[in-house]
């Protein structure tokens, strides 16, 4: 990793100045917050700020849930197993409540509970370390012995698998539909929205003064949230250039035979297979096909111009995994393939913090292949920082990135996909 162009000291300067700012303190007039990015993080941030009385202008260059956005996929896994990371289990719990609240507002299947099957070919320490937190949060996690697993899921070959666990409260979020539905609700409520690209404006005396919009206009607000996913590194090359690394990821949908009942949501759980590469997938939801994804980080990817043509190599790897783990789908036809990008932070943790030079500008991202499910809790956190001056969570702070960079720690995502 290169040395950072800003240091821990630079960042701490911004924090020290913050308490003096009154720009979003609850006042007689509602604070105006511009949220740049209408992906899952920006959408939930806008929602939570609005619920707490802020006036929000939401801005997106390509539109909510566009195919270029990380939130633009059909489905994203929601699960609560996060190893010994209690903070994420709590975030999943809070997020579940808000996802279910959202899903109850529509007849669309925004959330499908499938359970999640964890298959380990090696040790399962990661999962076992989650047990106390799962228990405390009320997420049931069941060990399944291999004979039982073979009986319950005859469509899966457990060859090479040493341990199996079933996480009961887990499933699939219809990602793009969730984001678009939230946008529709915002519009019905008269929420301001601009379909434009925004760039950060000048920073004066530790405060961002405005946004520069692609149509030549400018937007002034009291505070600015940049929830720009993989674009954060382009937008803030100086501050985020080395801390957000978008990588190319492929997802494939294969077609089970006609009338087959083994791969639908009723019979097939969401699954994760920890082999040399980590693969995960979802049952055939609404006839889209059996989804399989390789969590291995691909090459660097440009979210604007990157080539989204699926590669024969990735399809071959998916087929090889299917032949081994789901033998009856060995020759299933490929129905669809999509290329998306992870927006990786160096350690796989989220980034939710102020811009080091501007106390009223917030950088929100680093979903790193596992952020979608957490986005309601992310929105809550950001609203808490802006409106209630809640302190930044150290795990998500930029100081930890500066520390990593200063210590020369390599950029290595944790492989916390899905
Ligand atoms: C293949 C794949 C599988 C995944 N699986 C899972 C999973 O199973 N479970 C899970 O929880 N997570 C998963 N994730 C991760 C998750 O989808 C992302 O972490 C999350 O969607 C990130 O949301 P975001 O709002 O930060 O970014 P995005 O969704 O990319 O949104 C950013 C938005 O900002 C806009 N924007 C950018 N720059 C500008 C600008 N200058 N002006 C205006 N607008 C701008 C873009 O148009 C975009 O709409 C997966 C990701 C991928 C790619």
Q: Rounded distance, CA 6 to CA 245, Å?
A: 18
Count CB-CB contacts under 10 A for residue 215.
8
Distance 70 CA to ligand 1 centre (A): 3
pLDDT of 4 reads: 44
Question: Nearest C-alpha to atom 37 of ligand 1 is from which residue?
Answer: 228
What are the helix (H) ranges across 153-258? 175-188, 232-235, 237-240
Structure tokens at 301: 């990817």
How far is ligand 1, taken at its centre, from the CA of residue 61, in Å?
13
Which pLDDT score is estimated for 194? 98
DSSP string computed for 5-16: SS-HHHHHHHHH
SS3 4: coil
Compute the Cα dihedral for 189, 197, 76, 239 and give only its sign: negative
Return averaged pLDDT per consecutive 10 residues of the chain, 418 residues in all: 50 48 55 98 98 97 98 98 96 98 97 98 96 97 98 98 98 98 97 98 98 98 98 97 96 96 95 96 96 97 98 97 97 97 97 97 98 98 96 96 86 66
Tokens of 255: 């077609």
Q: What is the pLDDT of residue 369?
A: 97
Closest CA to 244 of 139, 327, 344, 334: 344
Selection from 336, 312, 63, 329 nearest residue 176 by Cα:
63
Q: Which domains does the chain have, with CATH numbers?
A: 8-69+176-244+347-406 (3.50.50.60), 112-171+246-341 (3.30.9.10)
Strands 55-59 and 192-194: parallel
- pTM score: 0.95
Residue 167 makes CB contacts below 8 A (sequence gap 6+) with 79, 80, 81, 115, 116, 117, 118, 134, 139, 140, 141, 142
* Pocket lined around ligand 1, Cβ cut-off 6 Å: 36-42, 59-62, 66, 69-71, 73, 76-77, 197-198, 227-231, 235, 249, 251, 293, 340-342, 365, 367, 369-373, 418
Question: Is 321 within 8 Å of 279 (Cβ atoms)?
Answer: yes
**Residue-level pLDDT at 12:** 54
Residue 297 tokens read as 């980080």
Rounded to the nearest angstrom, the distance between the alpha carbon of 341 and the centre of ligand 1 is: 8
């Amino acid at each position: 990793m290169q040395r950072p162009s800003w240091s821990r000291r630079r960042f701490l300067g911004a924090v020290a100045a913050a308490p003096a700012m009154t720009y979003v303190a609850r006042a007689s007039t509602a604070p105006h917050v511009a949220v740049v990015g209408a992906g899952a993080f920006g959408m939930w941030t806008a929602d939570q700020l609005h619920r707490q009385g802020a006036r929000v202008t939401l801005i997106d260059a390509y539109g909510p849930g566009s195919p270029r956005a990380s939130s633009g996929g059909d489905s994203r896994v929601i699960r609560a197993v996060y190893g010994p990371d209690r903070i994420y289990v709590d975030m999943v719990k809070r997020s579940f409540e808000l996802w279910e609240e959202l899903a109850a507002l529509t007849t669309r299947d925004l959330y499908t509970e499938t359970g999640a099957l964890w298959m380990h070919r090696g040790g399962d320490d990661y999962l076992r370390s989650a047990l106390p937190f799962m228990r405390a949060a009320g997420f049931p996690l069941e060990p399944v012995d291999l004979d039982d697993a073979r009986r319950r899921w005859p469509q899966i070959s457990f060859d090479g698998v040493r341990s199996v666990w079933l996480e009961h409260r887990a499933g699939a979020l219809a990602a793009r539909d969730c984001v678009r539905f939230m946008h529709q609700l915002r519009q019905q409520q008269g929420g301001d929205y601009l379909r434009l690209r925004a760039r950060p404006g000048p920073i004066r005396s530790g405060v961002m003064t405005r946004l520069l919009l692609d149509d030549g206009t400018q937007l002034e607000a009291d505070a600015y949230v940049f929830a720009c996913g993989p674009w954060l590194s382009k937008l803030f090359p100086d501050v985020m250039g080395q801390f957000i690394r978008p990588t190319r990821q492929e997802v494939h949908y294969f077609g089970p035979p006609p009338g087959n009942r083994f791969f639908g949501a009723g019979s097939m759980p969401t699954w994760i297979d920890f082999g040399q590469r980590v693969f995960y997938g979802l049952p055939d939801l609404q006839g889209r096909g059996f989804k399989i994804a390789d969590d291995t980080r691909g090459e660097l990817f440009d979210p604007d111009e990157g080539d989204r043509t699926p590669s024969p190599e990735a399809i071959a790897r998916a087929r090889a995994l299917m032949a081994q783990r789901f033998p009856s789908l060995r020759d299933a036809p490929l129905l669809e393939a999509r290329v998306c990008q992870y927006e990786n932070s160096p350690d796989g943790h989220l980034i939710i913090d102020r811009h080091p030079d501007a106390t009223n500008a917030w950088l929100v991202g680093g979903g790193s292949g596992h952020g979608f499910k957490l986005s309601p809790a992310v929105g809550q956190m950001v609203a808490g920082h802006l409106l209630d001056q809640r302190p930044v969570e150290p795990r998500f702070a930029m100081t930890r990135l500066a520390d990593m960079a200063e210590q020369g720690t390599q950029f290595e995502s944790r492989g916390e996909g899905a």
